[in-house]
Structure 1
Amino acid sequence: MLVEPIDLTPVERRVWRAFPTGTPVDLRNGTDDDPASGHAWPARRTVRAWVLRKLLLSPPVDGEVAALRLVGARITGTLELHYATVEHPVSLRGCHFEATPVLYGARVRQLNLSESYLPGLDAATLRVDGVLRLTGCRVPGQIRLGGARLSGVLFLERARLGTEGGQEEEVLHLNHSVLEDDVWAPELEALGEVRMNGASVAGVVNLKGAVLRNPGGLVFDGANLSVGSDLIATRARFEGEVNVRGATIPGLLVFTQARLSAPDGCALRTTSAAIGEVWLREGRVDGTVNMLRGRFGLLHVPPGAIDGEVWLDGLTYGSLTPRLPAKVRIAMLERDAEGYVPHAYEQLAAAYRQAGDDRAARNVLLAKQRRHRATRPGYARLWGYLQDVTVGYGFRPVWAAAWLAGLLLAGTTVFGARHPEPLKAGEQPPFNALFYTLDLLLPIIDFGQEKAFKPVGGYQWLAYALILTGWVLATTIAAGITRTLRRQ
């Protein structure tokens, strides 16, 4: 039998008598029910926090399912439940809390604070055997849930955390928490940092349409976050750095139609993260994107999605969509903050080869050689230019054939019009301008023409030019073939 205190107010007595059977008590009047202005509610809507504490810590009632179900109350004093075990479901919807509830280390079955106004929530290491509902809550201070463990869903949809120009940099703290279901927060508005560093979420993190703002700092810290399936931020807006460094997301990381903005810093950091698919379709990132050592199954980045520098060294991905010409993707590699990053070109070429586009893969590797050339000393750059012009670093073998054909035609025409004199009269074979030019151009082939005839004057200089060009072509072709074989 629950003994009723003698000093209860009429409204508290009503709440007290409804508790044993879980009967809801609704104090709303339909005129001024905004919890943010609850400090002005009259005494008939006021319940002292110690009364609620006594109810919640009372033993179960035989034959009944006791529950605290209170709507539209002004709760004065501090609801102090740290380290408490609450066996009854708790629903305090649309209430105005004058002080921050303290549930540090507490254990509850169900906790519903939807649509309420709370200065903050001190609930680190909280244990909830069911769901925790903060739907539509307004919390100008901090929600501290670090190390919490929830068996059900954490509901934060339409919640408003922090205040414009407020002093709190961190408005939601979920570091190292364990959530055995989803984090459901579509249309969440957070004016400060949301931290999920090292948290574990068995299901989905839903941030569809959310607005998170912390300009000049971290706005979402999901370093080492572990998600069971997807992190979805479709149509979301982030002002500040979104950090999922080292995160594990086997499903999707979706920024479709989202906007990430940190013009003077890093807007998106996925360093060393392992993610199934990353989607930036119709999204935009204003600021640096750091993907160092990230591992993605699929990366969907349309042109123009990233407006800023990129960090790509060590990034690996299986597929790159949408399918675009190589020159569009190469332009992004050239914006790498580290300058020339060989691995980024090799990875892009591998993605094109996996998609069956060998031509695009060759274009990427050719761009890699050209970018590398710019980092080398002058003499090496000169040799690089020769390889590029003649055979495209081995990726344009047809160019070598074109050079040979052009030089062969020029030599045949010139020497056909005026035969060079024989070295030994009467011992020379019949002169053939075509094979004489081939003898000059191809250093490893001997048709007997070059040794039998000796040009003079300007024709001798032409012969020297053909010999030198032939050696250059042969050397560059050999270098290109060697590079291709080594890559294979």
Structure 2
Amino acid sequence: MEITDLSPAERRVWEAFPLGQGVDFRTGADDDPAAGSAWGADRSVRAEMLRALLFDGPQTNGEIAGLKLTGARITGQLDLRYGTVEHPVGLHSCHFEQCPKLYGAQTRSLVLNDSVLPGLRAATVRVDGVLRLTRCRLTGPVHLGGAQISGAFFLDGALLGTSAAPGEPPSHGSGDSGEPLLRLNHAVITTDVQATGLRAHGQIRLDGAGVGGQVNLDDAELHAPGGTALHAETLSVGTDLRAMRLRAYGRVNLRGARISQQLNLAYARLSNPGGQALRASNCVIGELWLREAARIVGTVNLRDTSIDLLHAAPGVWPDRVKIDGLSYRRLGPHLPAEQRLPLLEREEGGYLPFAYEQLTAAYRTAGDETAARTVQLTKLRRHRRTLPGYARLWGRLQDATVGYGFRPMRAAGWLLALLLIGALAFTRKRPHPLKPEEAPDFNPAFYTLDLLLPLVGFGQEAAFTSQGWHQWLSYLLIATGWILATTIAAGITRSLSRQ
């Protein structure tokens, strides 16, 4: 392209390029690129001119060339497909008439901050630096699948898609059948993905992406009611996935994700009525934080997920959860077992022994043996409901007497009460000696103990016999003693097995 073919505005850009200088067409600080379609020739630059400049622009010895353009209207389509751009590109606060195409391109840093675009097609692009879409407004899809970014990817304050009128679906990709607004699937980002304050009216897709640093979605708003707001299956994050104060209207799908440190959903609001609000099954997560988060609307699926620290108050969980196979080492905040146990009743699959064992282990890790015993007792009571009638009866008896061995003081109470009853009864009416000349002195307390303790003998039961209703009382004490001895033995065995 010859310089004689350029408009005055384009000539300014052409002459500034070899010196790496910026050209600013803005007329005021409040210039809005959304109104860029009305900008005239004095602020218009052809996309084909920018393409020629980036691939074959003039060079000046001793200077670093670069495209730095602010407040321009880019007419036509910027097509850099499969090309190699050796210069940094900065197009700030620009209005693009057509969606730029960078499929398979290689470039240094690419900065489009505050610009308005109908979309961006840059699948498999390679950026040797940062890619910035900070505060951009993109009404159409952003294709970055398979991209390789050696620096960070910035989407802070960006707006993707267009919000719908009340009662109408968003214009792009609200449900699972629509085209995602952002495709970052199988992309490799060496450092971070920064998207604080992002607003998206459609689906964000990060399936199979690898991020060496953190993904930051603090204060983001994701709108995909009835569909999937964030689709990030098998996402790999080197440090944290931050989503504090996230507002997600639609499913957040993290199935199979690997998050080395924190998945931080503190103060978040997740809502997908009638469907899954959070799916984080088959994940490996260092810490899952739901501190001060609002009660989740929709189902939560954490099946077969491994977490080191699970920090969530009981009030955050919805009525339906899927926690079969969920394993964790620590729980926070530390609360009484009675506040944690109701969650285990909300599992769709019914009674899950493993869930009770996990909760027990977490309390023992915290050194709270009392809470651990409470969980184990609740587990046995819950298991009792699955047994046939005769087994439930025997279980109730063990529960009432010694709390399945987890309430040993109950046995002492029962023994003391029966000892008092028997001693009083046999004091009022002494049993008859079987051999009066050989019988020892009668002692009502030790006679009662002889009846209650099956394997202990004080010589009283063998020397005396009761009659009438006292004889029936003796039979009752003997039977009760055997039941107490059996349940106590079961409790001791269970205690030893825990040790």
State the TM-score bracket (shorter-chain normalisation): over 0.9
Correspondence 1:380 to 2:385: no
Partner SS, residue 208 of structure 1:
coil
Contact 1:4 1:16 in 2 (8 A): no
Match of 2:451 among 440, 462, 472: 440
Please point out which of 379, 395, 398 is paired with 2:409: 398
Which is worse superposed, 294-303 or 6-15?
6-15
Of 296, 302, 305, which residue of structure 1 is paired with 2:313?
Answer: 302
Alignment of 1:218 onto 2:228? yes
1:424, CA displacement in angstroms?
4.2
Q: How does 1:165-176 map to 2 (within 5 A)?
A: 165-168=170-173, 169=178, 170-176=180-186
SS for the counterpart of 1:304 is helix
**Residue 347 of structure 2 is aligned to residue 336 of structure 1:** yes
**Deviation readout 1:2-44 (Å, 9 max, x if unpaired):** x624332221222222222122111112287222221122222
What are the within-5 Å matches in structure 2 for residues 84-95 of structure 1? 84-95=83-94
Alignment deviations for residues 152-191 of structure 1 (CA, whole Å, 9 cap, x no partner): 1111000000112213241111111100111111100011
Deviates more, 1:330-339 or 1:173-182: 330-339
CA contact (8 A) 1:175 1:199 kept: yes
The CA deviation at 1:213 is: 1.3
Give 1:181's aligned residue.
Answer: 191
TM (norm. structure 2) is 0.94
Which residue among 450, 456, 469 is the counterpart of 2:480?
A: 469
What is the CA–CA distance in structure 2 between the aligned matches of 1:465 and 1:310, rounded to whole Å?
47
Cross-structure match for 1:51:
49
Segment of structure 1 superposing worse, 338-347 or 29-38? 29-38
Which deviates the most, 355-364 or 12-21?
A: 12-21
Q: CA deviation at 1:198?
A: 1.1
Which residue number corresponds to residue 102 of structure 1?
Answer: 101
Go from structure 1 to structure 2 and tell me whether the alpha carbon gap of 1:60 and 1:373 turns closer, same or farther (over 3 Å shift).
farther
Report the alpha carbon displacement of residue 369 of structure 1 after superposing the two structures with TM: 0.7
- Give the structure 1 partner of residue 166 of structure 2: none
Residues 19, 60 of structure 2: 8 Å contact kept: no
- The separation in 2 between residues aligned to 1:321 and 1:167, in whole angstroms, is 39
Any idea what SS the aligned residue of 1:266 has? Answer: strand
Aligned to 1:74: 73
Within a 5 Å distance, the mapping from 1:111-122 to structure 2 comes to 111-122=110-121
- Paired amino acid for 1:127: R
Establish whether residue 414 from structure 1 lines up as the match of residue 425 from structure 2.
Answer: yes
Q: CA deviation at 1:257?
A: 1.2
Query: Cα deviation per residue 1:190-213 (whole Å; 9 max; x = unaligned)?
Result: 111111111111111111111111
Give the Cα separation in 2 of the matches to 1:366 and 1:373: 11
Aligned letter for 1:429?
P
Mapping of residues 356-367 of structure 1, within 5 Å: 356-367=367-378
Query: How far apart, CA to CA, are the structure 2 residues paired with 1:335 and 1:317?
Result: 18
Deviation (angstroms), 1:427: 4.0
1:287 is the counterpart of 2:298? yes
Following TM superposition, where does structure 1 have runs of at least 4 consecutive aligned residues deviating by more than 4 angstroms? none
Q: How does 1:226-265 map to 2 (within 5 A)?
A: 226-265=236-275
How many percent of aligned residue pairs carry the same amino acid? 58
1:120–1:139 Cα contact (<8 Å) kept:
yes
Partner Cα distance (1:32, 1:332) in 2: 52
- What secondary structure sits across from 2:200 in the alignment? strand
Pairs aligned (count) = 486
Partners of 1:323 and 1:31 in 2: how far apart? Answer: 52
* Letter in structure 2 aligned against 1:309: R
- Deviation of the 1:421 alpha carbon: 2.2
User: What CA deviation, in whole Å up to 9, does each residue of 1:365-416 have, x standing for no partner?
Assistant: 1111111111211111111101111111111111111111110110011011
- Deviation, 1:425, is 4.5
Counterpart of 1:254, as a letter, is N
The one-character-per-residue Cα deviations of 1:305-351 (angstroms, maximum 9, x if unpaired) are: 22332222222222111111110011222222222111111111111
Alpha-carbon contact 1:46-1:73 (below 8 Å) kept = yes
Q: For residue 157 of structure 2, give the secondary structure of its aligned residue in structure 1.
A: coil
**CA distance in 2: counterparts of 1:61 and 1:17, whole angstroms:** 10
Distance 1:374 1:41 in 2: 74
Within the candidate set 24, 27, 38, 1:26 is matched to 24
Q: Provide the rounded CA distance (Å) in 2 between the counterparts of 1:292 and 1:298.
A: 16
Instruction: Give unmatched runs, 5+ long, in structure 2.
Output: 164-169
Deviation at 1:123, TM superposition (A): 0.5
1:200 to 193, 206, 210: 210
The reply to whether residue 455 of structure 1 matches residue 453 of structure 2 is no
1:321 matched to 2:320? The reply is no
Provide closer, same or farther for how the CA distance between residues 62 and 47 of structure 1 changes in structure 2, counting only shifts above 3 A.
Answer: closer
Q: Is the 2:18–2:57 contact (alpha carbons within 8 Å) kept by the matching residues of 1?
A: no
Say whether residues 1:163 and 2:168 are aligned partners: no
Q: Is 2:172–2:181's contact at 8 Å kept on the other side of the alignment?
A: no
Q: 3-state SS of the aligned residue for 1:57?
A: helix
CA contact (8 A) 2:172 2:202 kept: no
Structure 1: runs of 5+ lacking an equivalent:
none
Deviation sequence 1:432-456 (CA, Å, 0-9, x none): 2112111211111222322332222
Q: Assess if the C-alpha contact under 8 Å between 1:287 and 1:306 holds in 2.
A: no
Q: 1:481 aligns with which of 473, 488, 492?
A: 492
Specify which of 430, 449, 457 is matched with residue 441 of structure 2: 430
Shifted more, 72-81 versus 37-46: the winner is 37-46
CA distance in structure 2 between the partners assigned to 1:467 and 1:278 by the alignment: 55
How many Å separate the matches in 1 of 2:429 and 2:440? 16
Q: How far does residue 59 in structure 1 lie from its aligned partner after superposition?
A: 5.9
Amino acid paired to 2:348: A
Question: What is the rounded CA distance, in whole Å, between the counterparts of 1:477 and 1:59 in structure 2?
Answer: 90
Separation of aligned partners in 2, 1:242 and 1:201: 18
Range with greater deviation from structure 2 (179-188 or 476-485): 476-485
CA 1:347–1:234: 2 relative to 1, 3 Å: same
Query: Are the aligned partners of 1:237 and 1:260 in contact in 2 as well (CA < 8 Å)?
Result: yes
Answer yes or no: is the 8 Å Cα contact 1:81–1:104 preserved in 2.
yes
Partner in structure 2 of residue 191 of structure 1: 201
CA distance in 2, matches of 1:186, 1:245: 22
8 Å contact from structure 2 (residues 244, 268) kept in 1: yes
- Give the counterpart letter for 1:180 in structure 2: T
Q: What is the SS of the residue equivalent to 2:286?
A: strand
Q: How far did 1:111 drift? A: 0.5
1:275 and 2:274 are equivalent in the alignment: no
